[in-house]
Amino acid sequence: MKRVVILASGSGSLAQAIIDDAEIGNQIVAVLSDNADALVLERARKSDIPTYVIEMKKDRKVWDGEIFDCIKDLKPNLVVSAGFMRILSPEFVETFPTINSHPALLPLFPGAHAVRDALAAKATETGTTIHWVDRGIDTGKVIAQARVSIFPGDDEASLHERIKEIERGLIVAAIKEVLPTLESRHG
């Protein structure tokens, strides 16, 4: 069995899609958040998945070290950033195979405000990208993408919700694609 760790900061709807998948759900060994109040932690607990909280520190290097050490102890084959709103250190992403879900068709609209940026650019479509995390910000190799039309009446909330609907299935499919290719680690 492979070992998956989910990183998430918020409500956890993306993490829930992964947890609910029969093929992947039983391979999740932990959910880690940087936010003690994140709803994703409750979602994980309801599924009997261990949770960890490592909130951001004033000293970023201390936080990077705490995240690294925690994940190292969990021995994951794959780390899934599912709405985790922090940049991971180069050492982290070079040690742990990590994928991320991004609400845009990369390389368009990288960064934390992709949906807002797509609307501001008056784009007619956007989408979601699952990609490998590297040292850059949303610059890793693309695993999968799906397109989402932008409608004239869309605002940030409505567009983001439509993207999330597509994103949930896409991240599950991407995990199923990459997980068998990763070496096994024993916990």
Distances (CA, A) of 26 to 49, 152, 170: 9, 41, 19
Distance CA 68, CA 127 (A): 31
Q: Select which of 102, 113, 131, 160 is catalytic.
A: 102
186 is catalytic: no
CA angle 58, 61, 67 (to 5 degrees): 100
User: In sequence order, which residues have a C-beta less than 8 Å from that of residue 179 and are 6 or more positions away?
Assistant: 2, 4, 24, 27, 77, 78
CA angle 19, 21, 23 (to 5 degrees): 115
Q: What is the DSSP letter of 35?
A: -
Question: What is the set of active-site residues?
Answer: 102
